[in-house]
Structure 1
Amino acid sequence: MTTHTQPGQQNWIDELRSTLTSDFEMHTARLTELTADTGDPAEAHTRDALLAGTRQSLEQITGALRRIAEGRYGICERCAGPIPQERLEVLPHARFCVPCQQKQR
């Protein structure tokens, strides 16, 4: 299976993979910091919200990296059509094209 990329887009995919990998490392470090219990009950609610957001980001990044590795990046998971590069530049973890994303809501 191959991604819906045109010749010359491989450099873009390689750069994206590098950026996503860096983001993954940054969020992993942040998760480690957030899971260190400070013992301050006043921080618990804020920390829980930050943990949830960080975990969600890690999940999205991991999914995008997996799709790149499997050659499925840029392919809508619903209709199997191409996801425009412009959408992926704004939302690199996008799993659906815009019409299919709107149907998901």
Structure 2
Amino acid sequence: MTIDIETTGRGQFAAVRATLSEDFATQTARLQQLTAASDSAEAHNRAAMLTATRQNLDQISGALRRIADGTYGACVQCGSAIPPERLEILPHAQHCVPCKEKHHG
């Protein structure tokens, strides 16, 4: 996934929003499939995948909210700009690297 974070103008995050929206739809479909599955032998694996999928959906939703309210790209902890390279790799990032390291050691 490649996102041009440095695009200028009012719609600067339109590509990011579109990519995140596609990811949201994909993760929602995955969640529905996992929820509908009934193989008891794979219950543990399915539970782990459900948890991971729900976490992905939460992260994507948060990024879409930050785009909508104009705070996307700013660290939610210190307010510093998150480097475009970090957002390129992890478009739902909500912390700058120093705050992420402090938060998760």
Whether these two folds match at TM > 0.5 is: yes
Which residue matches 2:70?
A: 71
Query: 2:71 aligns to what SS in structure 1?
Result: coil
Contact 2:6–2:12 under 8 Å retained in 1:
no
Which residue matches 1:50?
A: 49
- Structure 2: gaps of 5 or more residues: none
Q: Equivalent residues in 2 for 1:1-105 (5 A)?
A: 8=8, 12-38=12-38, 40-105=39-104
- More RCO (CA 8 Å, sep 6+): 1
- The percentage of aligned residue pairs carrying the same residue is 53
- Structure 1: gaps of 5 or more residues: none
TM-score by length of 1: 0.87
TM-score by length of 2: 0.87
Distance 1:79 1:62 in 2: 21
Q: CA RMSD of the aligned region, Å?
A: 1.8
